[in-house]
Structure 1
Amino acid sequence: MQPESKLAPAGAFSDDERDAVYRAIFSRRDVRSQFLPDPIDEALVQRLLVAAHHAPSVGFMQPWNFIVIRDAGVKARVQAAFARANDEATEMFPEEKRALYSSLKLQGITDAPINLCITCDRTRGGKVVLGRTHNRDMDLYSTVCAVQNLWLAARAEGVGVGWVSIFREEELRGILGLPDHVVPVAYLCLGHVSELYTQPELQAKGWRDRLPLEGLVFQDGWGATP
């Protein structure tokens, strides 16, 4: 009896499969104001979490945890923490930018049926982790891969995702009861959407344009163009 192979064929996807992957990438949006009130089916939530859990991680440490938040009281406390930080953020921008900044809706914490905090356990895998021996932050980078996996899967499922980053970390830690060795990497808002912007919302509203790719690609070293 032949031993079971641990390898599978590696080839390009079919044209339709490939196009679907690129469509998810190019049409993914940071959703803030288009959430519908419809609940997200639990089986769908689990599919998204499974997709996130299958992200690549250095040393296969899988440093993430997922805090699923549905409770209105918890959302209200997070919303209040955001509001305090957002007031501070407004004053950090040049005066000519403040009116536009204040007009932007930068979160959907109470609008979205589900909030999700993806964390990084910095002790996962022990003191010495393969691939992390010389760069301790590889666990944080791995956790961000889980965020992106979930985001693309959500796009394919018709679920909008918004990343809220305007918090004082200690406030978010206190609300969610995070231990000292756990870092909140992404606070996400999830909900069904019926429409999305055709380009990133901040671009559509005049905050910033996408940079041209040709100015970002170097050859064999910094600053050397192909």
Structure 2
Amino acid sequence: MTDRKTSDHNQQQDGRASLEQLVRWRRDVRRFRPDPVPDELIDRLLRLADLAPSVGNSQPWRIVNVRSAETRTTIIKNFQMARDRSAEAYAGDQADLYNRLKLSGFDAAPVHLAVFCDRSALQGHGLGRQTMPETLDHSCACMVTVLWLAAREAGLGLGWVSIIDPAEVSKALDAPADWKLVGYLLLGWPEEEHLDPELQRYGWQPRTPFETRYFEAGSIAERAGVQADEPKASGVPMGTVTLVGAGPGDPELLTLKALKALQSADAVLFDDLVAKPILEFVRPGARMIDVGKRGYRTSCKQPDINATMVSLAREGLKVVRLKSGDPLIFGRAGEEIEACRSAGIPISIVPGVTSAQGAAASLKVSLTNRDHARRLQFITAHDRRGHLPEDIDWSAVADSAATTVIYMPKRTLAELTDVALVHGLDPNTPTIAVANATRPDEQVFIATLATIAAELHAAHPDGPVLVMVGEALRYATVRDVSEQADAIVAALDVMPGQS
């Protein structure tokens, strides 16, 4: 097994985003929340961006904070006119798509910044500009890039508007004649976050393989005519995607096949619920992309994960989609399989130990005890909206001869147990909740169907939780904690060995 420290991963130990995550978490935001951005944060970000490199240390950028509502209205009108003119260049379906695209975030972005390049800047004494005067513009682009990365790290989004008339914007801002507009930037808190740019998401332009933009001396003429949208013609082999089950948390529950996949991966997209020790088995040098929830952003959307898998595979990479438990058990694997198939990406699946199995093993209980359970069923306690699903078969849940395992029950457990009781399930049915199954911080809550929701709510455990219901659970024993035997007696009024 390959071993390495967590600090080797792109995800920093303090939970902040790595550089690669910031770069991949796109900057071209067009949908902002109107919440204000504190002036001190804007000042900090601009001062950080001001440290960007520039040719000859010329620092040619000039940043104008556009606070005036009247001036903003003038610039928005300019954008609308420029957009209408640009639309004339397109026809048919492309024209329809262009008109549907959201190409700016003027309507909600709380911060507007105009960035100019001062062509008359005396700093730097002209170093580098005698042969390449455009490096002044390039220096300003470096500054904007630093600002974008700093904004992303702070949780802000940045949109770079280019569909405007530079002369009219300069006039509206009363800019000196030697100032050339580089870009009009919109800054604010993103309304939604995506790993792929909006133009790619809506079908305007997909990303093309890296190899179509990388050359070695002597091969430029040979490859310059290769079409970027034909990855096979560029000589780039198609990559693969493997859905891998990480198990409930204990690294020793990884399968050999899962371990091989992690140690041969070029890129790993991992969920927030994947136990950190498991990430230590990923091949050193592989790209690590956290597609779970983090404080610097909202939740990663499933379409973004699909798009990222496909994009990385089209670069010729071996992509692992690492999921807690088993990817085929409430892991939204179906959507990812379909995304790969639609894109022509080869996909394979490595099953994992699901959390129900891990929890049952820790409790040393058979979920299919033949004296008490003729059926084992898995259900989820929330739908796409986070509500209790409306299509649960309550007669099956109320079957006293079934063991039911409830995944993702935190929000809706009280409602679920209430409905199950209405449908006839005995309130004294043994019920056990397990948080962080198989992990060192595993917690077990032994109760009955009637009391489990209140007990779990009072404890408010961190981490993933599942709840198991059924007569077979009367035989559960908590690992190496003798006082839990008293809890079994108190909750179920029966000794573990009795039936």
Q: What TM-score comes out, normalization by structure 1 length?
A: 0.88
Deviation at 1:56, TM superposition (A): 0.8
Match of 2:209 among 208, 212, 216: 212
Deviation at 1:96, TM superposition (A): 2.9
Deviation at 1:128, TM superposition (A): 4.7
Match of 2:93 among 63, 72, 96: 96
Aligned to 2:109: 112
Aligned-residue CA RMSD (Å): 2.1
Cα distance in 2 between the residues matched to 1:126 and 1:114: 28
Cα distance in 1 between the residues matched to 2:141 and 2:95: 29
Cα distance in 2 between the residues matched to 1:194 and 1:83: 22
Cα distance in 2 between the residues matched to 1:19 and 1:73: 37
Matched residues, number: 213
Match of 2:64 among 52, 64, 67: 67
Question: Could you tell me whether the CA contact under 8 Å between 1:115 and 1:190 is conserved in 2?
Answer: yes
Aligned to 1:149: 146
- For residues 89-122 of structure 1, the C-alpha deviation after alignment (integer angstroms, 9 at most, x for no partner) is 0001233311100001111123110100111100
Structure 1 residues 47 and 224: CA distance shift in structure 2, 3 A: farther
In the alignment, is residue 44 of structure 1 matched against residue 41 of structure 2? yes
Question: Could you tell me whether the CA contact under 8 Å between 2:28 and 2:197 is conserved in 1?
Answer: yes
Question: Could you tell me whether the CA contact under 8 Å between 1:31 and 1:162 is conserved in 2?
Answer: yes
205-214 or 89-98: which moved more? 89-98
Aligned to 2:24: 26
Cα distance in 2 between the residues matched to 1:60 and 1:224: 38
Cα distance in 1 between the residues matched to 2:123 and 2:104: 35
AA aligned opposite 1:99: D
In the alignment, is residue 137 of structure 1 matched against residue 119 of structure 2? no
Question: Could you tell me whether the CA contact under 8 Å between 1:29 and 1:196 is conserved in 2?
Answer: no
AA aligned opposite 1:200: P
SS, match of residue 90 in structure 2: coil
Question: Could you tell me whether the CA contact under 8 Å between 1:29 and 1:161 is conserved in 2?
Answer: yes
Aligned to 1:3: none
AA aligned opposite 1:30: D
AA aligned opposite 2:163: I
Aligned to 1:10: none
SS, match of residue 126 in structure 2: coil
Cα distance in 2 between the residues matched to 1:202 and 1:86: 15
SS, match of residue 197 in structure 1: coil
SS, match of residue 120 in structure 1: strand
Question: Could you tell me whether the CA contact under 8 Å between 2:17 and 2:153 is conserved in 1?
Answer: no
- For residues 35-60 of structure 1, the C-alpha deviation after alignment (integer angstroms, 9 at most, x for no partner) is 11110011110121012111110000
- For residues 122-141 of structure 1, the C-alpha deviation after alignment (integer angstroms, 9 at most, x for no partner) is 01126951121211111001
Cα distance in 2 between the residues matched to 1:145 and 1:50: 14
Deviation at 1:224, TM superposition (A): 5.7
* Structure number having the greater helix percentage: 1
Structure 1 residues 223 and 196: CA distance shift in structure 2, 3 A: farther
- For residues 29-82 of structure 1, the C-alpha deviation after alignment (integer angstroms, 9 at most, x for no partner) is 30112x111100111101210121111100000001110112211111100000
Cα distance in 2 between the residues matched to 1:162 and 1:61: 25
In the alignment, is residue 203 of structure 1 matched against residue 224 of structure 2? no
Task: Choose 1 or 2 for highest CA Rg.
Answer: 2
Unaligned runs of 5+ in 1: 1-12
Question: Could you tell me whether the CA contact under 8 Å between 1:25 and 1:152 is conserved in 2?
Answer: yes
Cα distance in 1 between the residues matched to 2:73 and 2:208: 36
SS, match of residue 167 in structure 1: coil
Aligned to 2:174: 177
Deviation at 1:194, TM superposition (A): 4.6
Cα distance in 1 between the residues matched to 2:159 and 2:67: 15
Cα distance in 1 between the residues matched to 2:151 and 2:186: 11
Relative contact order: is structure 1 or structure 2 higher (C-alpha 8 Å, sep ≥ 6)?
Answer: 1
Cα distance in 2 between the residues matched to 1:214 and 1:89: 31
Cα distance in 1 between the residues matched to 2:29 and 2:124: 38
AA aligned opposite 1:28: R
Question: Could you tell me whether the CA contact under 8 Å between 1:81 and 1:167 is conserved in 2?
Answer: yes
SS, match of residue 210 in structure 1: coil
SS, match of residue 85 in structure 1: helix
Aligned to 1:162: 159
Identity %: 38
Question: Could you tell me whether the CA contact under 8 Å between 1:218 and 1:224 is conserved in 2?
Answer: no
Question: Could you tell me whether the CA contact under 8 Å between 1:85 and 1:166 is conserved in 2?
Answer: yes
SS, match of residue 124 in structure 1: coil
AA aligned opposite 1:27: W
